Structure 1
Amino acid sequence: MPRLHYLIRSAQPHLQIFPAQHSSNDPRNQYDGNNNANNTDGPRGRSRYSFGRNAALDTFLFTIQGLALFIVIREHVLDIKWISGASMSPYLNKGYNIDNIDSEMVLVDVTYATKLHLERGMVVVFPSLRGSSSRTEPSKLSVKRIIALPGDIVTTRPPKSGEGGQKTQIVPWNHVWVEGDATDPDLSFDSNTYGPISMGLIKGQVMCVLRPKWRTLKWWEWENENDPVESGGDYGKSQRIRVRKDAVTVYDPNIN
């Protein structure tokens, strides 16, 4: 409670006591009690304004930094994709025609080192291609398995009845041959249609399934016939039979 100062004025026949009147210029009046709470021009008001402004700036900068970090991670480290369709079933989207599960969430390794060391059996992501023209659709992604590397000779998948015979093709330098795991040719639009794809198109390698059920993809077991799941069973075996590894030596055409 503010102190009251009194002036005593003599009056006959008795004394009267009056509250003291402070001038508006009196420092005690300027910084006393609740008057200072509403005074935004005072030191405390300026301090509160400065604190609020700094907090808002810190929040903004933190958000920008977090967003930048998120973008860097997605572009150069790890990314999350949804896989839909039946071209990789039953290895991916195993329940596509059974449980009506039409998509799975997967984690993709998009590091530069992975793109430099591609191997047979890897499940990779790349822009979808249009027909045999090899024109890409950047807005859409395809997920396929690498079954042949540069220098391998591939015999194309057996065609449906009445559609000509099988062909052989050498996988050129800096290219890979990709196919889906689906046994039905109609379910997979892959290198049997558009040929080998450039390694430069590959965005990353699928590491694991996150949803609906966690599962690590052991791509290195694709050639291990003792593992029926990772090797693709009988169809995976038929894919490997169609590939002659390191059949020819290929060179960089840009080097004379």
Structure 2
Amino acid sequence: MSAAVVSLELRRGAAAVNPVAKLAATLVLAVALALSVDAVSAGVALALELAALPLAGLGWAPFWHRTSALWITAPLAGVTVALYGKASGRVYVDALLVHVTDGSLHLALVTVLRVLAIALPAVVLFATVDATEFADALAQLLRLPARFVLGALAAFRLFGLMRDDWRALELARRARGVADRGRLRRFAGSAFALFVLSIRRGSALATAMEARGFGGPTPRSWARASYFGRREVLLIAVATAIAAAAVTAAVATGQWVFLGH
């Protein structure tokens, strides 16, 4: 057994699952929850997802760090819908464009639950995904073009360098006194310099990859094999069960409202 496979097996829970399976599980939940606009299906799905969080292989500190923006944006989206959503039922506030009614409050609750139920599993599952592992899975399992996958992986790897370049440009321009006044002017100058630097680095990287045979016509080999086994099937089955339970609960309570009606 290779060192990569051993390392994969030592990781806990869903963190060791192939990224393609994580993508499939996320899509199953998203499609099922996007078919209806009701609070029951979203609430049941969210409750089951929270119950399954300990199996995700993500500690509580990383969990709150990764999902902190989600817990803020979801209620904000609900507030927006409550203020400007479709008016129906009892009216609580009616001023200019603001209409707070029973219908808008219900739709706000549905929005919050649905955003959390769809986005939470995606954030948690992909928090433990390595970019190289994801690229391997896309090329080997989904048979996506290797040239496209590796190019996207190389571009993703350059994001960290771009952040460092931005910081270096800021320090260099301040040291030389260039655009020391005016925040917008300084930002525009640094952005243009970073754009030129990114083009140069991308061209050099493309030339280096071509020189190493990344664009060759022969089938390429892979340093790490991407596996799809029982663990991946189990994750997709769990996601399907959660989606089925949510839809069943909504239909049984008469709350199922198909999207578009």
TM over 0.5: no
Structure showing greater radius of gyration is 1
> Which structure has more strand as a fraction of its residues?
1
Q: Provide TM-score, normalisation by structure 1.
A: 0.22
Q: Provide TM-score, normalisation by structure 2.
A: 0.22
Structure number with higher relative contact order (C-alpha < 8 Å, ≥ 6 residues apart)? 2
> Which structure has more helix as a fraction of its residues?
2
